[in-house]
Amino acid sequence: MNIQGVNMPGINSRTTLQNRTDNNINFEGKFGDKISDFTAKIYGKYLANSDRLRTFAEKASKKSEVENVTNHFQVAGSAITSSAYMVSTMKNKDFDKDNARTLAINQGLGFLVPTAGAYITDHYIADIKKQIEYKYDAMHEHKIAQMKLTPEQKKVAMEKLGKNLKAVRALMSILTFTFIYRYVTPVGITPLANRIGNWWNARIHAKEAAAQQAEMAKEIEMKPQIGNNVRTAA
């Protein structure tokens, strides 16, 4: 038995008890069960029963806050994705080597700067996340306490709240990182990085042009001298 919507607004007015599996979000029913049974067999069991992974988790979790792991995984995914784009840019035959390098650097910066920004933002909102979690908990515990539930229903409701509670801070971290990576970066940081790249390229080209001009001027100056020398020698 599962209490659907026990933590939903208007709970007092519509607490519905339904018989449904709580296991899947959309992959429900026999087909979904078959798929998840299959993935449990080919993937889940190797992680759930891995001695090494468990030992690693036990040791690592004693050294740092496990709540931040969600952020690290998001960053790891983004780092890999960014590197794919950088490799693609470097291999793109449409760009000359200089431009490709500049663009790849831009893409790298487009990963580093938002990552730093996301970590800093997440750090500064840590207290807010904590307080929101407390508030979420208090509001929903109140609701559950005020509902007329059987002990069994209350137990199910509390279990569900417990699971949701564990996810509140992770949810806010995910939203922070995703907003920075998927909105702030392409809309704000990438154009800025491109401008810096363009400015940098223009600067290099201007320097090269100036060097070329100086070289040409030098050559022009040298030619009459050489001619004079020849004449003198003659």
Residues 95-134 that bind another protein (CB under 8 A): 95-96, 98-99, 102-103, 106-107, 110-111, 114, 127-128, 130-134
Contacts with another protein by CB under 8 A: the residue count is 117
Alpha carbons 106 and 186: distance in angstroms, whole number? 12
CA atoms within 13 A on the CB side of 85: 15
Residue type, 115: T
Question: Considering the rule CB under 8 A, would residue 24 count as an interface residue with another protein?
Answer: yes
Smallest gap from residue 204 Cβ to another protein (A): 9
CA torsion, points 221, 225, 230, 234, in degrees to nearest 10?
150
Smallest gap from residue 230 Cβ to another protein (A): 40
| Residue of the chain from 101, 119, 121, 165 that contacts another protein (CB under 8 A) | 165
Tokens 């600067």 belong to 203
CA torsion, points 42, 46, 48, 50, in degrees to nearest 10?
180
Joined together, the tokens standing for residue 85 give 């784009």
Say which DSSP state 11 is in: T
Joined together, the tokens standing for residue 77 give 């995914």
Binding to another protein (CB under 8 A) within 45-104 occurs at: 45, 47-49, 51, 53-54, 57-58, 60-67, 69-70, 73-74, 76-86, 88-89, 92, 94-96, 98-99, 102-103
Binding to another protein (CB under 8 A) within 177-206 occurs at: 177-179, 181-183, 185-187, 190-191, 194, 197-198, 201-202, 205
User: Which among 144, 166, 129, 136 is positioned nearest to 5, based on CA atoms?
Assistant: 144
Alpha carbons 119 and 65: distance in angstroms, whole number? 14
Where are the alpha helices (H) located in the chain, listed in sequence order? 29-39, 45-48, 51-61, 69-91, 97-124, 126-146, 151-179, 190-233
In the complex with another protein, which residue's Cβ is closer, 44 or 224?
44
User: Which among 190, 173, 187 is positioned nearest to 74, based on CA atoms?
Assistant: 173
Smallest gap from residue 217 Cβ to another protein (A): 25
Question: Considering the rule CB under 8 A, would residue 135 count as an interface residue with another protein?
Answer: yes
Question: Considering the rule CB under 8 A, would residue 39 count as an interface residue with another protein?
Answer: yes
Question: Considering the rule CB under 8 A, would residue 228 count as an interface residue with another protein?
Answer: no
Smallest gap from residue 91 Cβ to another protein (A): 10
Question: Considering the rule CB under 8 A, would residue 29 count as an interface residue with another protein?
Answer: no
Smallest gap from residue 128 Cβ to another protein (A): 5
Smallest gap from residue 157 Cβ to another protein (A): 10
Smallest gap from residue 213 Cβ to another protein (A): 18
